Chain A
Amino acid sequence: MQLTQVLTYALRRLLQAVPVVILIMVGTFLLLKLAPGDTVDALVGDMGGADAAYIARLRAEYGLDQPVWVQLGRYMAKLIQFDFGWSFVYEQPVAAILWERLGTTLMLMGTSLSLAFSIGVGLGAIAARRAYSLTDNAISTLGLIFYATPSFFLSLMMILLFSVKLGWLPVSGLSDVAAFYTGWDHVIDVVLHLIMPTAALSLIYLSFYLRLMRASVLEVADLDFVRTARAKGAGETRLMIHHIMRNALLPVVTLLGLQFSTVLGGSVVVETIFALPGLGQLAYQSVIQRDMNMLMGIIFLCAIIVVIVNFLTDLLYARLDSRIALK
């Protein structure tokens, strides 16, 4: 894999991504406009009412009195300059809020996915090597339970046990606000706050990887090249890590790539229950509030992340299986 080759490939993918992103943005804008009501309705609902003149004034100020295509044109013209606009709900620039929220979500999703991926792959491989043994049954059953437990239920049960009954972990939030920790105390405080949400979020992903990895390893282990490698005298460990795992990982990596794209949307429930200020919760609130600029900003961010992750997944493919070429 030459560097120039990768760069040309990246450039081509980037050019291809531009019309895709524009299409997504226009489509979403129009789709969101189909929902009944706008952000002024939501704001007035929050306030407990306002008179007609007040409502008309707000609407004019937000540019919502213009025809939809004018609004769309104005938005796209701004977006081309990477100006995400102003959130009328938060009374702040959209970019500032997105930036603030992105950190929390990336931290939560990053730890959950890496935890789920490493443990899931490990357990899946062990289960496959000892297929149909007691260990395999135990691991598979566990996977099934994780898979079948909804995250909101798991979250609330964990809160009940670890916070209310045992008092070991804080119920919700990102840190203990009233404690004013600094330095390492703050880090430890944040870690303690993230244990339950990470667990709640990673278990379902873990079960995905576990089941997929188990099936994949079982399949690869029967292939001819594994028999050849064994005939040539490769040890079991080398066989497993070098020959089987590397090939069995392909479908799991595909799934990881797909799921990473759901980073922004996948954690609405967990973020809401644990009161974590992440993008999932923000997206949900923005729909309720009809906060167009915010929602468009989130979708733009999502679109970009999907494009990047797909690109990285393709690179990883080429690395794992040299038969796949970057074209």
Chain B
Amino acid sequence: MITTSRSACGSAWGWLLAGAAVSALAGPAAAQEPRHGGTAIIHMPSEQRILNPALRASTGVYNITGKIMEPLIDKSYDGPVGVLATDWSSTDDGLHITVNLREGVNWHDGEPFTCDDVAFSAMELWKPLLNYSSTLQQYLESVDCTDPHTAVFNYSQPMPLDLFVAAMPDLGHPVPKHLYEGTDIMRNEHNTAPVGTGPFKFVEYKRGQYVIAGRNDDYWRGKEYPYLDRIVWRFIPDKSAAAAAIEAGEIHESGFNGVSMADIERFSKMDGFDVGTQGYENNVAHSTVEFNHRNPILADLKVRQAIYHGLDIDYAIKTIMRGYAKPGRGPIPSAGGANYTDDVTTYAYDPELAKKMLDEAGHPEGPDGIRFKLRHRPAPWGEYTQLWAEYFAQAMKEIGIEVEILTNDAPGFLNGVYRDHDFDTANGWHQFRSDPAVSTMVWLRSGSPAGTPWSNQFGWQSDEMDRMIDEAQAELDPDQRAADYHAIQKLAMEEIPVIFAIEHPFISVTSQKLHNHHNTPRWNSSSWYDLWLEK
């Protein structure tokens, strides 16, 4: 489904370009020549508050700060591209990674960007303070600056170069050392007024209302970039009001499913809007069903298999995600590149088989048609998780399992599932962060202390799985590493500790007045130096 919608988008753009070519031939209206100037207005459903990607690894933070602060490496459809880094290499033992840095780059306050900034950021922020990164960089010992534009990352355990490069777009934003050194980093004023090297400079953050960034005239890519004069992010919490603002032309883009699916479907049929999943290849999430294996009924593999057979995944994709999704194949989504395989055990929708398996597992229907009851906690992450929980309850009813839904808000859910283990089943979603080692593996690896959200708190432990995960994480050869992850995926689909039921990228609605939009796999987080706005 993703490829279909992507190619649909691609062809729409192709058509646009073709139309432009025709009009360029037909007359003086050279509509596709990038225009300088203008203000792009972007919808944000929730406020971010901290605007420092080296302290908060979250797509909402990147959506704003990605224009102001740049990472060492970003992702393009052709693979990794250097931003503040120009190239990178690793020693054979994987213990030293050398990154060459771009010269002639200045921070927005005029100070030059050098290796000192990278070394300081890595040791003082990325390793100790940045969520997710603290796991990635746990074996980082030091960063040496052999010259002002060469940084050498020294590790005490081998660090696969692949993993380092895959993690850098999200977890590799340097901060200016001269503004952070000697201050309380968590309380530094620049955490809400960022200073970076990006195409846009921070202007104003009005809490509860908007953030403004203005053009950086000293951008390193050259005087012609960026095209836009300004970007404004507006916080509109109500999805219907946001949809109305897009329709009225007050907003140019809303990403990360910022409006309801009904409105997304409506916009996809209206003129003047591009609707699609392109630009989210790096931000794919799974809708899950999570089991509490402490419950002896669910500890039985046969029951979990029966539950999987009882779920009509295609129906859910069609009605809940309106087609913008595809069936999951274990902990690594198809967007995972070489590490993904679809050669795994699958569980087709077959309620009769499911009932038979439940009978065999020793759970016959009672006089009221019910085999057993489950207490289910749905994650409150919006439309998908709520509807998916309701569908789960409905589908389970059909095979004789009664599901009681315990509604809770975010802290209630995270505590109920990941700390207190007070649930039988739960559903949520988990975002894949371009490499399994820094994202979905924590769902399968045992040993996370209780209270770690989005980790294996399911009471499921497999020595084999733990060993495979550790080996894959330290594997330096990319081909062997991919083979390791295929094996993990196969085992996860056989044992089903968690059902990774559906994988879905996010969806955005974009006004066709914007050009060069969604042209990288993590577009909403990228710098938008080439984005331009039609008059």
Query: A-side interface residues toward B, CB under 8 Å?
Result: 35-38, 41-42, 44-55, 61, 89-92, 97, 100-101, 155-156, 159-160, 163-164, 167, 170-174, 177-178, 272-275, 277, 281-282, 285, 288, 290
B residues neighboring A (CB under 8 Å): 39, 41, 46-47, 49-50, 56-60, 129, 131-132, 134-135, 186-187, 191-192, 206-210, 212, 230, 232, 234-238, 240-241, 244-245, 247-248, 250, 408-416, 431, 448-449, 451-455
- State the CA gap A155–B240 with chains docked (Å): 10
Q: Which residues of B contact A275 (CB under 8 A)?
A: 209, 234-238, 241
Whole-angstrom distance between the Cβ of A5 and the nearest chain B Cβ: 43
A-side contacts of B192, CB under 8 Å: 91-92
Q: Which of A42, A52, A53, A174 sits near B410, CB closer than 8 Å?
A: A42
Complex Cα–Cα for A45 and B417 (A)? 13
Q: List 24 A-B contacts (CB under 8 A).
A: A35-B411, A36-B415, A37-B410, A37-B411, A37-B414, A41-B410, A42-B410, A44-B131, A48-B431, A49-B131, A50-B452, A52-B451, A90-B207, A100-B207, A100-B208, A163-B245, A164-B248, A172-B250, A178-B39, A178-B232, A272-B237, A275-B209, A275-B238, A277-B208
Q: Is the CB of B240 within 8 A of A164?
A: no
**Cα-based distance from A170 to B46 in the complex (angstroms):** 20
- Chain B residues with Cβ below 8 Å from A164 are 244, 247-248
A288 touching B241 in the complex, CB below 8 Å, given contacts A36-B416, A91-B192 = no
The residue on A at minimum CB distance from B247 is A164
Nearest CB of chain B from residue A167's CB, rounded to whole Å: 7
Dominant secondary structure of chain A at its interface with chain B: helix
CA of A163 to CA of B129, assembled, Å: 44
Residue from the list B60, B129, B206, B453 in contact with A49, Cβ < 8 A: B453
Contacts of A55 in B (CB 8 A): 451-452
A51, B237: Cβ atoms closer than 8 Å: no
Supposing A44-B453, A272-B238 touch, asked if A163 and B415 sit within 8 A by C-beta, the answer is no
Pick the contact of A177 from B46, B132, B210 — CB < 8 Å?
Answer: B210
Q: Return the chain B residue nearest A104 by Cβ.
A: B208
Beyond A101-B208, A275-B209, whether A177 also contacts B240 by CB under 8 A is no
CA distance A174 to B236 in the complex (A): 11
**In the complex, what's the smallest C-beta–C-beta distance from A88 to chain B, in angstroms?**
10
Provide the residues of chain A in CB contact with B186, threshold 8 Å. Answer: 61
Question: Are B41 and A178 closer than 8 Å at their CB atoms?
Answer: yes
- Most B CB contacts (10 A, CB to CB) among A91, A164, A177, A281 go to A177
Cross-chain contact of B453 among A45, A272, A285 (Cβ < 8 A): A45
Q: Judging by beta carbons under 8 Å apart, are B240 and A48 in contact?
A: no
**In contact, A35 and B412 (Cβ under 8 angstroms):** yes
A50–B453 CB distance below 8 A: yes
Docked complex Cα distance between A92 and B51 (Å): 13
Contact check, B132 vs A49: say whether CB atoms are below 8 A apart.
yes
In the complex, are the beta carbons of A273 and B241 less than 8 A apart?
Answer: yes
